[in-house]
Structure 1
């Protein structure tokens, strides 16, 4: 109960903070007329991001391209919006985990691994983001925008196909609830590499973690919750560079899209819990497939 109250208090604080920032603007009504439409974009992006763990950048980036944002502005602004939406989603999923511990001793067995997943992946993901941001020349061979988008798109499509296959071939396989030695090794690679990809695309690490856990046979809702929480920590780690170094965040868009993202981050859990495990896998695989298509430079 206290965990749920804590999450609610933080959401209320964020809402009050947003109202204060909005009212402090020189011409808040004109600002709302010009950028209020981004609120819906924030809701849409956060709903998909927090119901799949794959990140909302795939929704935001095409709109930013239409606005002719630079690459740095697009990535920085996407990071800032996700700091709002993924944080709201992470708090919501963590509160759900706390509720399971106190009310559902059967299902919580599948979720006991959540703290360990977060403890392993978060530091390495943030390290991956920081290394790419601070030392981009070290990864110059891998950081060509077109080749990276192409590689990530193809990889996402392959992962989606793999999830579809698990739905068809592993219908009655019991859920895993413990990490094996192979999982520890894989999680280290996924978190570090995914963090680096996220630094370039503003998406990546959450998708990779969720797909891996689903394919390995863990609870699909757990996989999404872990991916959302990891993504939230990752974007907070990554936004520091853009605040201090690039200063490329486009704040008028963040003000309204961020508010919408907070709403979407809270609502997403209900969407996930509405689906059965099988249908949730299909929904997730479909989203990852579309994400892969969208990142291909067609």
Structure 2
């Protein structure tokens, strides 16, 4: 191995662990891996476009692995998954509207209302507080499986708005979808699985903006973080199946609060 290759491993090898952490977190909560990557890239002084583009590229590894893992889980056990009746329809509607939302932003070259650091911090903080509120102030009921007209309208709105947020922050649609489904009392594993698969479709639809149209990806980071995220995406489902809904939401919420508070300071 050449000295240059060894030096690259020393300099970028830590990103393999970061990718693994991001992949596990993203695919066990339904949140995009950008929740881990964007704060780190900000500390490393990446430009906003480099941060978003690199985050998308890493997520193409992690979210895709997680999507396949969850999809195989659904197909192998669907006869027992009574509460997953609307799984494919939720994915279809939200994915289509998310891709429309993200490419509306790209096609019209719409800039984020504020800086990436500021927007991401407030998004994380508000979402974290909202999740904690649902844990302590909303009484549990029996889980549901039926979708109503209101749900279809909400899913379309989440896709459009979440897609736009994802274009600006590299996260958004997965988080919003997971939280909505949990609030509506759908099965926690189904909520996470749907959010992961929608996020995977969304990042793949967006990656062309950051490769063919405007290349800003930091490939040295992706080379090491991508395989780590892939492994994290494969193992994340095991974590979800061993955590209660409350523990999973608390874990998700406190991570978001930490990110938000650190970023706002």
TM-score (norm 1): 0.82
Deviations 1:215-244 (A, max 9, x none): 111011111111111111111111110001
Q: What is the count of residue pairs matched by the alignment?
A: 265
User: Per-residue deviation at 1:74?
Assistant: 0.7
Q: Which of the residues 122, 126, 135 maps onto 1:164?
A: 135
Q: Is the 8 A contact 1:53 1:207 kept in 2?
A: yes
5+ residue gaps, structure 2: none
Partner of 2:167: 199
Partner of 1:109: 82
Partner of 2:91: 118
Partner of 2:264: 297
Which aligned pairs between 1:173-212 and structure 2 lie closer than 5 A?
173-212=141-180
SS for the counterpart of 2:78 is helix
Q: Is the 8 A contact 2:93 2:155 kept in 1?
A: yes
Q: Is the 8 A contact 1:149 1:297 kept in 2?
A: no
Structure number with greater Rg is 1
Determine if the alignment matches structure 1 residue 43 to structure 2 residue 43. no
Deviations 1:278-297 (A, max 9, x none): 33333334344445445x53
User: Per-residue deviation at 1:49?
Assistant: 0.7
Which aligned pairs between 1:232-243 and structure 2 lie closer than 5 A?
232-243=200-211
Distance in 1 of aligned mates of 2:245 and 2:36: 25
Q: Is the 8 A contact 2:65 2:230 kept in 1?
A: yes
Q: Is the 8 A contact 2:19 2:226 kept in 1?
A: yes
User: Per-residue deviation at 1:270?
Assistant: 0.8
Distance in 1 of aligned mates of 2:258 and 2:131: 9
Q: Is the 8 A contact 1:220 1:281 kept in 2?
A: no
Deviations 1:127-181 (A, max 9, x none): 11111122134x66x3554663465245313421332135xx423x111101111
Determine if the alignment matches structure 1 residue 96 to structure 2 residue 88. no
TM-score (norm 2): 0.91
